Structure 1
């Protein structure tokens, strides 16, 4: 794996130092150029937590990925530059995890002028590092908060235009192998959201573009705008133009997307 190839992939040419300026710049560049997406899972292609596999997919094949790939790769990049990085396990959803429940979301703890939460694999809410302490932070169009829920648990929340997403985490460091169970389950269980619904997400400045199934949403400070895709070619074009994903074979998923949309919303 080559750091220069990654930097070319994210179009980043600034000096590299293990400081806050570099960290902020890398986070924004990765989110701008590398989308969160589950296209492999939709097409039945195996997805690995291994960093070298993520590098091959994201850097060499110019694809995106999900949290295990994107945060895993970004952690490797930061360590190569000299940052102090730890992997943490998150549990996505509004409710506190049950004892013994395995984390289903990877995030990063980076020490840089204090402890920071860094997450380039949650779809696009945190556009820059978030202080790893209880508080509320503005990252338009999102309001981001971290709350101390007791017993070592913290809750991350992001809110925009009335819609909220959450995950729970502790400060206990884990290895990448911690996520093997979740990685297998989320791409094999037919009830997994990553199997049931295609998604691609990209964060550019104060805008978050989200494709779920047939509906593309653009979220910014003016609110949320929706467009429904009308054909498999519209899907291919949307992924290419809005998410920098040139994957024409995704058109084979169109019949399944139509069926899923009709199950949820009718014809």
Structure 2
């Protein structure tokens, strides 16, 4: 990334020139990770707005910075990897398969996560694209419990791979082989087109709040979850209410309310 692009990205995260990380340290990574989760929403609106999803670094950064939008895992972690690389971190893209019910795993290249090496040689699992997940990077080689505002995490061996576990439940199975952004094109295509993909079946826009809670807009249902787990939910009646929440709570300016292109069928 060029300096101007890095400056624009950091500005998007609320970081001015005087606050730029002076080195690719673990402390800087933690700050960037949390700011990203608080600022850039996890959302699948492009699928339902008919917008093309292009897994190219410049297009992903432009969506996050220029269009002030969010995205899902490939987009968010793809853009974040570009920023981290521009700031001097050593970043490796990793593929994962999300755990489903009854021990099932999702498709290959189901999820994109990042292994990040900091200046002291430590390795971290950074993931700003999984929705409700860790607020801070996880120590990649630590097999014990890692307490985080998002819950208690563990990274455990699963054959040649690793399972990322939250509060005792496996979240995704992570491969350790390095990947490239283009490797995830088929996965992104499946998630944005297949009737079996939950991203195709429903709308979501979500981000972490300053107090450690979360706000989520699913269609017209707006949920506010506190850091203590307390939840408030209300239905938004008018299109203007929906657009106002997108604009004021998520920083997303839309001209019309997106609707689900392929709603889930119970038949």
1:172 lines up with 2:177 in the alignment? yes
Q: What residue is the counterpart of 2:64 in the other structure?
A: 58
- 1:115 deviates by 1.5
TM-score w.r.t. the length of structure 2 is 0.86
State which drifts further: 54-63 or 6-15: 6-15
Q: What residue is the counterpart of 1:43 in the other structure?
A: 49
Any residues of structure 2 matched to 1:1-267 within 5 Å, and which?
2-13=5-16, 14-16=19-21, 17-94=23-100, 95=103, 97=105, 101-112=107-118, 113=120, 114-132=122-140, 133-140=142-149, 142-159=150-167, 166-205=171-210, 206-219=212-225, 220-249=227-256, 251-253=257-259, 256=260, 260=263
Higher strand share: 1
Q: Deviations over 1:112-136 (max 9, x none)?
A: 2421100011124221111113232
Q: Deviations over 1:70-112 (max 9, x none)?
A: 11111111111111110111111243648xx522111000112
Count residues in correspondence: 253
- State how far apart, in whole Å, the 2-side matches of 1:97 and 1:64 are: 26
TM-score w.r.t. the length of structure 1 is 0.86
- 1:165 deviates by 7.2
- Give me the CA root mean square deviation: 2.3
- 1:48 deviates by 1.2
- State how far apart, in whole Å, the 1-side matches of 2:8 and 2:139 are: 29
Q: Deviations over 1:185-241 (max 9, x none)?
A: 111112311111000111124112122233222222143322222232222122112
Tell me, yes or no, if the aligned pair for 2:116 and 2:124 is still in contact at 8 Å: yes
- State how far apart, in whole Å, the 1-side matches of 2:236 and 2:49 are: 19
Relative distance call for 1:12 and 1:217 in structure 2 (3 A) is same
- State how far apart, in whole Å, the 2-side matches of 1:224 and 1:135 are: 30
- State how far apart, in whole Å, the 2-side matches of 1:120 and 1:222 are: 20
Q: Tell me, which stretches of 5 or more residues in structure 2 are unaligned?
A: none
Tell me, yes or no, if the aligned pair for 1:42 and 1:194 is still in contact at 8 Å: no
Three-state SS of the structure 2 residue aligned to 1:46 is coil
- 1:260 deviates by 4.3
Tell me, yes or no, if the aligned pair for 2:163 and 2:170 is still in contact at 8 Å: no
